[in-house]
Structure 1
Amino acid sequence: MTMIESAVLPIPAVACSEPGTVRRHVLSILDLTPDEVLYLARRGVALKHAPTAPQTLRGRTVGVYFRKTSTRTRSGFLVGAGRLGATVVYFGPNELQTNTGESLGDTARTLAGYLDVLVMRTNESVEEMQGFAAYPSMSVVNALSSDEHPTQALTDLSSMLEHFGRLKGLSVLYCGEGNKSAAALALAMSRIEGMRLTLATPAGYGLDAQVLATAQSLAAVHGATIEETHDLDAVQPGYDVVYTSRWQEMGVSKADPEWKSHFHPFRVTRALMDRVGNEGAVFMHDLPAVRNEDVDDEVLDGPRSLAWVQAQYKMWSAMAVMEWCGAGVQDQD
């Protein structure tokens, strides 16, 4: 049995609810049970390797509302929804009447009459998305808020699952800022038995203390390990994945004019990969990358890089999330 077969075979058959039923939301990884996280990771792999895309969203309408820039996430949801048979509507940052004074509640109530799924990127608090999610006829998916990037974590898990054929027992070293991708990854991995995440972050740029505490508390319950250090040199070998992210999230610089000096020691180089990686260790990046800053070219483009596979998984994972939310796709007993 191949790694891909072992990852896909656990996918059970799926069933779809009738239009008009109460929808599910993915505003945070914590909206999902541990079993649902694993299901969506496996489902992303299965969708990639299916001979044709199932038309699980035929007759449904998906709205994609991005107020901030995006390449992979926006494209993944737009193209993925079309592959699943949905009608797709895109809203740019200046195209809704909230820009002219309409209340968020009135806008949400209106859109809930048209859409089965609304995918949102705001870079603001998830509370705004919760306002849209108040209407049970419409699912809301967080495609990046100021709190978390949950669909990125699902993308990452699917990428690892396809490559290694398993998630249990994998060790991941994350280097760089404790940003929204890191937060979602920590909350996801904290509930998968045997997974280990070490966050190597510059002092003052670590994971939000409350998120870290939550992830560590969940890890203790589920048999995972979540830890943080500010000393990358002290990290010992033994990792299956070395992961980094752009130092300037969404291209926004830091208040400290000397901030880059704190990040330089966390750059991913071939020497770091060789020092901390197990045999067969891979590199991952949520992209976009700043070449030769957060990661060296020879690592990003090298044979151990999964970054480009990971980028394509943005679509497969988006498809898994949208069908699970908007069509009630679920495991069959």
Structure 2
Amino acid sequence: MTARHLISLDDLTDADLRSILERGVSYSAGLLRHERPLADTVVGVYFRKTSTRTRTAFSAGSLRLGGQIVSYGPDDLQLNTGETTQDTGEVFSRMLDVLVARTAGDPAELRGWADQERMSVVNAMSADEHPTQALTDLTTLLRHFGRIEGLRVQYVGEGNNTAAALALALARFPGTHLELRTPPGYGLTEDVLRRVARSAALSGASLTEYHHMDRQEGGFDAVYTSRWQTTGTSKPDADWRAVFAPFQVTGELLAQSPAAIFMHDLPAHRGDEVTAAVLDGPRSIAFDQAANKMYSAMAVLEWCRHGITAGTAAPLTEASR
């Protein structure tokens, strides 16, 4: 078996991406409760930075699919005593079937661990991209709307690894539009914008980015935000909060898209990136989104071990939404 790796969304073909999303919806809808594709599989879960949802999602998802887990915290490995990352990866690959790792740093380390064919490596968040969060987000959109194609999403906040992954994923689907409202100096990187543009040129998707909150047009299907202080990072500007203050999702902003759902990758800081009235209001699906992280993780783990071919995901019927 050749290991499949998910370090970036670029590692997925369009068919892989679609199949993982559909499989995640099927798990979320309870249509695959008796599936045990991870029987006889050992999954390592290594988190160098804090995590609630992603760590729990991959741990619980592994167990629900019949796998066993070995969990490591930031102080558990001999990396702390000087062992090289190459030697650590070599040992991992001879004992584990899948490694789910959050480094919050340079993805080159994950690429190094993936330079073998015995063990799959899943990026649970690096500094530049959070691919499993985007898969969760699109699984949530697909579960709610029954489609990704043609959806209009507004993202408000820092152009962080969550925003980068969301942009890279949505750009793969025809007719989607992503509007980003990011504070000046905190937008998407040029590299991400180039990669999004390449995908959008093929799919017919579109992206616009503004560094202000003026001239809002509304009419979005979903409004999304993320915490202002991204895990594992710090702001170079001591007065960054003043720059971020206008980029808050309020009831007034949400009212400009009357049919929109509200999404948040959590953890949330009420009163910063979003008001409590929005996060806890009737249009918020943030906690359903968090629950879908486990179902999306299950689909990713299954893909790593077995792949998911066209037609194996359950059909998207009204009963499954």
Superposition TM-score tier, normalisation by shorter sequence: over 0.9
State the shift of 1:165 in Å. 1.1
Whole-Å separation in 2 of the counterparts to 1:249 and 1:39: 29
Out of 51, 54, 57, the residue aligned to residue 76 of structure 1 is 57
- In 1, Cα distance between the equivalents of 2:194 and 2:28? 34
237-246 vs 226-235, which moves further: 226-235
Aligned 8 A contact 2:24 2:139 in 1: yes
Pair 1:33 & 2:13 matched: yes
Considering only aligned residues, what root-mean-square deviation do their CA atoms show, in Å?
1.3
Decide which of 308, 317, 323 is 2:296's aligned counterpart: 317
Match runs of 1:133-212 below 5 Å:
133-212=114-193
Equivalents in 2 of 1:253, 1:32: separation in Å? 30
Stretches of structure 2 lacking an aligned partner (at least 5 in a row)? 313-321
Is structure 2 residue 203 aligned with structure 1 residue 222?
yes
Counterpart contact for 1:190–1:218, Cα < 8 Å: yes
What are the within-5 Å matches in structure 2 for residues 120-135 of structure 1?
120-135=101-116
Q: Does 1:299 align with 2:278?
A: yes
Tell me by how many angstroms 1:327 deviates: 3.1
Match of 2:33 among 52, 56, 60: 52
Distance 1:289 1:251, change over 3 A: farther
Aligned to 1:281: 260
- 1:244 maps to 225
2:216 is matched with which residue?
235
Q: 1:251 to 1:104 in 2, by over 3 A?
A: closer
Residue 44 of structure 2 is aligned with which of 43, 46, 63? 63
TM-superposition CA deviations, 1:206-227 (whole Å, max 9, x none): 0111111220221021110111
Q: Which amino acid aligns with 1:245?
A: S
1:8 matched to which residue of 2? none
Q: Counterparts of 2:34 and 2:60 in 1: how far apart (Å)?
A: 12
Normalised by the size of structure 1, how large is the TM-score?
A: 0.91
TM-score (norm 2): 0.94
Contact conserved, 1:147 with 1:180, CA < 8 A, in 2? Answer: yes
Residue 332 of structure 1, CA deviation: 5.2
| Equivalent position to 1:42, from 12, 22, 25 | 22
CA distance, structure 2, for counterparts of residue 328 and residue 114 of structure 1: 21
* Cα 1:242/1:71, change in 2 over 3 Å: same
Distance 1:317 1:304, change over 3 A: same
Kept in 1: contact 2:220–2:259 (CA 8 A) = no
Q: For 1:299, what is the secondary structure of its paired residue?
A: helix
Q: CA deviation at 1:238?
A: 1.5
Runs of 4+ in 1 over 4 A off after TM superposition: none
Aligned equivalents of 1:329, 1:158: Cα separation in 2:
15
Confirm or deny: 8 A CA contact 2:249 2:278 kept in the other structure: yes
Identity of aligned residues (%): 50
Question: 1:51, CA displacement in angstroms?
Answer: 5.3
Describe the SS at the equivalent of 1:236. coil
Is the 1:53–1:83 Cα contact (8 Å) retained in structure 2?
Answer: no
- Aligned residue pairs total 311
Distance across 2 between alignment mates of 1:252 and 1:51: 38
In structure 1, runs of 5+ residues without a counterpart are 1-20
Matched residue SS, 2:178: strand
Structure 1 equivalent of residue 316 of structure 2? none
Q: For the residues of structure 2 that align with 1:331 and 1:221, how far apart are their CA atoms?
A: 21
Alpha-carbon distance in structure 1 between the residues aligned to 2:15 and 2:199? 14
Contact 2:104–2:232 (Cα < 8 Å) also in 1: no
Q: Secondary structure at the match of 1:197?
A: strand
